[in-house]
Amino acid sequence: MDRIDTVKVPKSLPRPASAADVTKVLAVICSRRPRKQTPLDRLRDRVLFETAYVCGARASEVCGLYVEDLDLRLDDEHVRIHGKGGSVRTVLLDDRGYVTLLKLYLTRAGYTAGPLFRASINGRGGPLSYDAAHHRWQTYCTQARIEIDIHQLRHAHATELINAGVSIEAVRRRLGHASTETTQLYALLDDKVADAEIRAARRRRDQTAS
């Protein structure tokens, strides 16, 4: 038995959702420019799920955010995310439309401290639980007639970064992976950056040959 090589079980590749499908589900919740009569719980859900998407965060991490984790200094907005094993990472909020929506939510809710996403509609409850968030996300997906697991929001963000040419190490830090081995799985997916480079190289080669 000592001479037999260890059998390695290949890790399954992550299944990212398309940006178009994510956008459709988010639009079902409410607009990025919500009307004044939009219920607070709808606005909360839009910000919650968009936070998971634009930060590449786990839904459980987002549910555990506090207002104190936000740093909303103009043009340098960040959020501090508490991850697995007591780890903490700081994520840049580089989507202006999202930041505007986040600030609107804070103003509408009147939150200056405490849980960012609260369970009760009137904002007096504790943090929204993962199970409640998962159930609400599935409800919105059903309404949009799109099948996306809540964890695919994180996968979608990571894949978009890889395809945009962001380094594996930078993506690893943003996602809070302990090792780049996990992050590299995203590079095994359809890599639009690599495809573009290959096509460009082929065109240069064909032009030289002609």
Whether 134 is a known active-site residue: answer no
Task: Give the up-direction half-sphere exposure of residue 88: CA atoms within 13 A in the CB hemisphere.
Answer: 5
CA-based diameter of the chain, in Å? Answer: 71
Whether 58 is a known active-site residue: answer yes
What are the residues whose beta carbons fall under 8 Å from the beta carbon of 4, sequence distance 6 or more?
none
Whether 151 is a known active-site residue: answer yes
Please list the alpha-helical segments (H only) found in 93-166.
Answer: 96-109, 130-144, 152-163
Instruction: Tell me which of 118, 157, 174, 177 is the catalytic residue.
Output: 177
Helices and strands (DSSP H and E) totals, the chain: 9, 3
Instruction: Tell me which of 15, 33, 84, 205 is the catalytic residue.
Output: 84
Instruction: Tell me which of 46, 154, 155, 157 is the catalytic residue.
Output: 154
What are the residues whose beta carbons fall under 8 Å from the beta carbon of 183, sequence distance 6 or more?
158, 168, 171, 172, 175, 177
Torsion sign over Cα 138, 139, 140, 145? positive
Whether 174 is a known active-site residue: answer no
Q: In this structure, which amino acid lies at residue 185?
A: L
User: Tokens 């786990």 map to which residue?
Assistant: 58
Q: How many other C-beta atoms are found inside a 10 Å radius of the C-beta of residue 69?
A: 16
Residue 144 and residue 197: Cα distance in Å, rounded? 35
Whether 11 is a known active-site residue: answer no
Whether 203 is a known active-site residue: answer no
Instruction: Tell me which of 58, 118, 155, 174 is the catalytic residue.
Output: 58
Q: Which residues are catalytic?
A: 58, 84, 151, 154, 177, 186
